[in-house]
Structure 1
Amino acid sequence: MSAAYTLYAKPGFASTTIERLCSEARISNRAFYECFGGREELLQAVHERCVEESLTAVSKALQEAPNTLDGRIKAGIHAYIEFATADPRRARIMHVEVRRSGDVLTAARQRAVESFARLVEDASADYPEPAPLNRHLLALAVIGALQELLIEWVLGEPQPELDDLVGVAVHVFSRAFSPVS
């Protein structure tokens, strides 16, 4: 898992062979296949671990946040961006390699997005309805915006400042979930 975490982030999933994974991990090919059916299954395991850990970090931040919509938005976004960027390999695997892997992670990516959408919906459920919009679709839209911001952080030259990412994401989420006057 550790070797995959490093190699799938750089040079990337497409460039990482099983032989390279095994060499980096100092294990035999046979030992690899006793644990995983292939490099795709290993990528899924690494991705799912990142997603689970990020969901835990965001859930904890939401529980500790002030009980206001603004407080929850700021806490949740800050926790997610902080988690994803604390180790650039995580951000790259969760937001770049997951897309570059083609069909390998389509279902896993969709499950992750749905999990985060439920988290956003639950965190905003006690507050006024954000216009006459479907809350689930709105959650998906703001999650997409956050994903694109993190892709820009991973690939951008120059790399945006984390405070800028948080500020823009908070702005997008706050506007999206503000009740219509």
Structure 2
Amino acid sequence: MTGGERIYGGASAAARVEKRRASLLDAALTEMAESRWRAVTVASLCSEARLNKRYFYESFDDLDQLANAVIELVATEVGAAAIGSYLETVESTLGVQARNAVAAVVDVLGADRRKALVLLGGVPIATSQDAQRRAAISGLTTVLVEHARKIHDVALESDSLASTGPAFVIGGTAQTILSWVNGDLLLSREQLIDDITALWLALGESASGIARSRFAPQARDLLP
């Protein structure tokens, strides 16, 4: 603690700012998930977060910045969960790696339906936030692309399926999880994870085989 930092209620000034920021993020997540974001004002949001309006501006310049921060926060949590699960199972079989990654993502988004709705496109949001959401999904796709290139051979790495496959997987997974959290897909958590994992593995194997079949004629053409 610096000499000028004052403690109130056992919390430093920085900790209090962070707590107020978290409250605003949580209130914004609720408003976005309930499709009320376009009608939100700084005053109404602060009232929902039980904060004085002046505290909004200590963390955010405007509502757009707050909404983008919500999306980034959820995307970061999902990405960290998926990567963390992979690192824990890096020495395991591909099937175990895939299932753990799927389980990690499902648990983050399934534990809080608001996160699934906001990140995966289950609710309409403003144009600026839609761009942020696309960027977040693109970032998750990039992670999957890099993983696919590590576990499959050079044929898949050099083929367009190295990019289209993961994008297809992410899009399909997002829609499946959305259907599940909305109650349209009546499956247990375990069955959902098993099914998504099976589809991930099947698509990965098929994509690798297709890439190899495409690569073979090209390799022959390169022979002297």
Range of TM-score over shorter length: 0.7 to 0.9
Give the equivalent residue in structure 2 for 1:41.
65
Indicate conservation of the 8 Å contact 1:69/1:124, yes or no: no
Kindly report the root-mean-square deviation, in angstroms, between the aligned alpha carbons of the 2 structures: 2.5
Q: What's the CA shift string for 1:61-120, capped at 9, x where partnerless? A: 0011244322221111111111111222222221235x5114122332232122212221
Q: What's the CA shift string for 1:113-152, capped at 9, x where partnerless? A: 2221222122222333486552121111100001101221
Distance 1:96 1:180 in 2: 32
- Is 2:209 the partner of 1:180? yes
Give the equivalent residue in structure 1 for 2:95.
70
- Is 2:85 the partner of 1:58? no
Cα distance 1:133–1:168, how it changes in 2: closer, same or farther (>3 A)? farther
Indicate conservation of the 8 Å contact 2:32/2:125, yes or no: no
Give the C-alpha shift of residue 168 in structure 1. Answer: 2.5
Range 119-128 or range 136-145, more displaced:
119-128
Alignment gaps of 5+ in structure 1 = none
SS in 2 for 1:101: coil
Q: Which amino acid aligns with 2:119?
A: M
Aligned length: 180
Distance 1:137 1:80 in 2: 20
- Is 2:177 the partner of 1:150? yes
Q: Which amino acid aligns with 2:169?
A: V
Indicate conservation of the 8 Å contact 1:72/1:123, yes or no: no
Percent of matched pairs sharing the same residue: 22
Cα distance 1:94–1:23, how it changes in 2: closer, same or farther (>3 A)? same
Indicate conservation of the 8 Å contact 1:145/1:169, yes or no: no
SS in 2 for 1:94: helix
Cα distance 1:110–1:11, how it changes in 2: closer, same or farther (>3 A)? closer
Cα distance 1:69–1:125, how it changes in 2: closer, same or farther (>3 A)? farther
TM-score by length of 2: 0.69
Alignment gaps of 5+ in structure 2 = 1-24, 211-224
Indicate conservation of the 8 Å contact 1:62/1:123, yes or no: no
Range 4-13 or range 74-83, more displaced:
4-13
Distance 2:108 2:142 in 1: 19
Give the C-alpha shift of residue 158 in structure 1. Answer: 6.3
Indicate conservation of the 8 Å contact 2:30/2:114, yes or no: yes
Give the C-alpha shift of residue 56 in structure 1. Answer: 0.9
Indicate conservation of the 8 Å contact 1:4/1:21, yes or no: yes
- Relative contact order (C-alpha < 8 Å, sep 6+): which is higher? 1
- Is 2:173 the partner of 1:136? no
Indicate conservation of the 8 Å contact 1:95/1:147, yes or no: yes
Cα distance 1:100–1:155, how it changes in 2: closer, same or farther (>3 A)? same
Distance 2:170 2:150 in 1: 19
Give the equivalent residue in structure 2 for 1:6.
30
Q: Which amino acid aligns with 1:19?
A: A
Q: What's the CA shift string for 1:9-55, capped at 9, x where partnerless? A: 23543354433211111223343244323322211111101111111
